[in-house]
Structure formats: structure tokens, C-alpha cells
A = this chain, B = another copy of it.
């Protein structure tokens, strides 16, 4: 019977995402999101319990955008998983600042659950059962999480690699050499090369 809500959780999350995409993770604050929506800071607390819940909404919004439809049935199972992982990566690459948030909020996200369900479907179809299936799924999630963070916090093309390549050659001969090679490995090859290794190991 009272006054109707003027905001949907989606609009709230969209405002937070706009702040993230424009100004980065450090700029995400209750005040910034409120300003983005043209309302007062405290008004947000009619929609979320605290900042953490707002972060979860953003993660939900982004991950809900991942296509979790079963990948083409004609493909071998390893390529079907690669399709699923690629969809996840493409979605998160469009919003790099969200990547760190996904780590802590993964468990509570419906989007992740749906994606995982589809991955499990492929794994089950490939004959994975019981503990082996658990290990396979968790290894995939661990790799994707870790690789996406590496990609957005310390890309191979970044300053870190450059700094490494002129390390003292006597103590770090291989690091220096590998850093030089690394400049010729782009992000795509790094990410999917590693994924291919993992999938080969699952066979």
C-alpha cells in the first residue's frame, strides 16, 4: 500500500557499473553511485543492506550477460568448454574493473551457477563423474579466475615484463630470456594456450 519503488536492482547495478567502467574500482563508492543516480547517498540503503550487497548486484548484472546456452553439440567436448570459457572471458573483458569483484562474490552469483551448470553438463557428457568431475570444474574455475586477474593486473605486454627483461642476468638468466619471449605472446594466446594445456590434461 505504500509508495512504490522508483529503482530496480538492475538500474542500481547499472549505475554502479557505469561508475566502474568510467572511473575504475577505486572510485566505486556509495556516494559515487548515488550521484550517478541523482539521489542521496542514504537512499541506496533502501535497496541494498551494505556496499557488499551492491557489489554482488554488479557482479550479478555482468555475469547474467554470459550466454549459458549449451554450446554447439557438434563440437568435441574440449572445444565446447573452450566456447563457454571464451564467453565468460569476453563478458568480463568488457568490464575489467569487475574482475576483482567476481572473486569474492562468485559463490553468491546466479550467473556463475548457471555457467557452472552448463560446464558440468559438458563434463558429464564427456564421462566425468564424482570426485573427478569436482576437481575438473574447480580447476577450470581456478584457472579462469587466476588468468583473468593476471591479464588485467599484470599483462604480459605491461611494464612488469619490461622490468623483468633487464633483471641481473647472473641471478635471473631464464627470467630475462623468457620475458623477451613473452613480448611476442599476446593476451589471446596466453589465455587460451594455458586453457588448452588444462583441457589436454583433462582428457
Contact = CB atoms under 8 A, between A and B. Distances in A.
Interface of A: 103-104, 106-108, 113-114, 116-117, 120-121, 124, 130-131, 133-139, 141-147, 149-150, 153-154, 156, 160, 163-164, 167, 171-175, 178, 181-182, 184-185, 189-190, 193-194, 196-202
Given A133-B178, A178-B137, A149 B103 contact: yes
A191 B202 CA distance: 15
Given A144-B146, A146-B142, A201-B199, A164 B113 contact: yes
B134 A194 contact: no
Given A117-B175, A134-B178, A147-B142, A154 B106 contact: yes
Contact of A201 (B104, B138, B146, B198): B198
